[in-house]
Amino acid sequence: MKLLYFYPENPLSHNQGNNLRAYQLLQYFKFKGFQVDFVAQESHIKNAFTLNDIETLTKDNLIRRGTLLKRRKRSGLKYAFSRIVLLYKSLFNNYKKVFDRIRFGQIKDLKTFIAKESYDIVIISYAYNYRLIDEIDFGKAIKILDTHDFLSAQFNRPDLFNKEISIANLFDYVWSISIEEDFLYSQFLNKKSYLIPHANTINKCETTIKSEIDVIYVASKNHHNIVAINWFMDSVLPLLNPNINITVIGKITEVVKASNNVICVPFAEQLEPFYQQSKIAICPMFTGTGLKIKVVEALSFGLPVVCNKRGVDGLLNKTSNGCLVTNKANEFADYINKLMDNQDFYDKNKTEAVSFYNQTLSTSSVYKQLDTFFEDAI
């Protein structure tokens, strides 16, 4: 089985859930003996994918070969001509000018990379990279969109819903990471939708590292997370027992004020050591869609999660899953305080977290779902 996999970021950087998902898929492909050509985008952000990372993936036998689609400085005439062509196309296909993150020259780069190659399967990550399959002829290859999220909902743009569905219909199959998104796609797509959840390959359930972090919160700096952490800091933190310490990790720390019991870690190369030292995770979210990767990560380490109602989006079970759910600040604080003070209550929720994760989100369970997909599709 020969497969082309486009993922724009760095699967070796395990500080974000989407990167962990990409790495998990590469591990599955290796397990199945697939020959994988991997494509990423050049970026100037910290921890971006590099040619050295291609060497690492190749040495680890996760890919056969790989390339980076370059970020070019756009020359005047060529750039102007490309924009005129794109504008002309958009007059007849209005949805195609939405969700476009393929840069100038990258279509040509990919055509060069795959010249004289033929693939059984082509996987494109994120709907806004649709042009890679819309403007390149992959012959009889099965084309899969790995959505990662329903973007019109994530960006709170309901006016883009129909356009996103139109883009998804360019593919033969669509992978969703949450049960709600899978249901939504299945209602509107002419093609088949499959639920392929996110899983972590390492979990804390079998470790006995001492918990030095009482509460952990991992998040990027987007609008949803900013609203969430502001609510937590203003409405929940004052209600917690004063001896409880909280560690906040990620770019969200830019809007968090550190204190004696609030520790900020702007960047973590690996999240595993932090989860292994934590007792409780939180996911205070009122907006946003899809499976919350931070919840999956916490459950994979056997941590009870205190969250708002949005925190259990995408989970197959909404109860008895290790998550304590409320939108009320006083109840949110009470759950954290009780988990810290009542060992029986903590053990019960930890056991539920471990059981739910192993049954629905573990590597073995996700591999079974991938097996089912390839048996149906090939």
Q: What is the pLDDT of residues 322-332, one digit of tens each?
A: 999 999 999 99
Q: Which of 276-280, 361-365, 374-378 has the lowest mean pLDDT?
A: 361-365
* pLDDT (0 to 100) of residue 207: 47
- In 3D space, the residue among 89, 125, 110 whose CA is nearest the CA of residue 5 turns out to be 125
Does the pLDDT at position 294 exceed 90? no
How would CATH label the architecture of 2-199+363-377? 3-Layer(aba) Sandwich (3.40)
Whole-number CA gyration radius for the chain? 22
Mean pLDDT (the chain, rounded):
87
Helices (H) and strands (E) in the chain, counts: 14, 13
Q: How many CB atoms lie within 10 A of CB 17?
A: 22
Global pTM value: 0.79
- In 3D space, the residue among 175, 153, 161, 151 whose CA is nearest the CA of residue 101 turns out to be 151
Mean pLDDT computed over 123-138: 94
- The DSSP H or E segment spanning 23 is helix 17-32
* pLDDT (0 to 100) of residue 75: 58
In the chain, the N- to C-terminal Cα span, in Å, equals: 10
Measured between alpha carbons, how far is 355 from 351 in angstroms, rounded to an integer? 6
Mean pLDDT computed over 343-351: 96
Q: Report helix, strand or coil for 260.
A: coil
Residues 6+ apart with CB under 8 A from 103: 41, 69, 71, 72
Contacts 24+ apart (CB under 8 A), 106-110: 106/41, 106/69, 106/70, 107/131, 107/132, 107/135, 107/136, 109/67, 109/69, 109/70, 110/6, 110/39, 110/67, 110/69, 110/136
Q: How many CB atoms lie within 10 A of CB 78?
A: 12
Measured between alpha carbons, how far is 274 from 277 in angstroms, rounded to an integer? 5
- In 3D space, the residue among 152, 138, 147, 199 whose CA is nearest the CA of residue 168 turns out to be 147
Q: Report helix, strand or coil for 309.
A: helix
Q: Which of 91-105, 206-220, 283-297 has the lowest mean pLDDT?
A: 91-105
368's tokens: 């079974």
User: φ, ψ for residue 6 (rounded to 5)?
Assistant: -100, 120
**Annotated domain spans of the chain:** 2-199+363-377, 204-360
Buried b (16+ CB within 10 A) or exposed e, 300-314: bbbbbbbbbebbbbb
Q: What is the pLDDT of residues 67-118, one digit of tens each?
A: 999 887 655 565 566 555 555 555 445 444 446 888 889 999 999 999 999 9
64's tokens: 């056969």
Q: Strand 323-325: give its sheet, edge to edge.
A: 262-265, 246-249, 213-218, 278-283, 305-307, 323-325
Three-state SS string over 132-176 comes to: HHHCCCCCCCEEEEECCCCHHHHCCCHHHHHHHHHHHCCCCEEEE
Fold classification of 204-360 (topology level): Rossmann fold (3.40.50)
51 CB burial (10 A radius; 0-12, 13-18, 19+): exposed
More confident residue, 208 or 135: 135
Residue 189, CA distances (Å) to 51, 62, 64, 339 in order? 37, 32, 33, 43
> Are 172 and 144 a contacting pair, CB within 8 Å?
yes
Mean pLDDT computed over 319-342: 96
More confident residue, 15 or 195: 195
Instruction: Please name every residue paired with 278 in a beta bridge, in sequence order, or none if there are none.
Output: 213
Measured between alpha carbons, how far is 221 from 264 in angstroms, rounded to an integer? 13
> Are 164 and 151 a contacting pair, CB within 8 Å?
yes
Residue showing tokens 């292994």: 276
Residue showing tokens 């999240």: 271
Q: Identical fold at 2-199+363-377 and 204-360?
A: yes
* pLDDT (0 to 100) of residue 4: 98
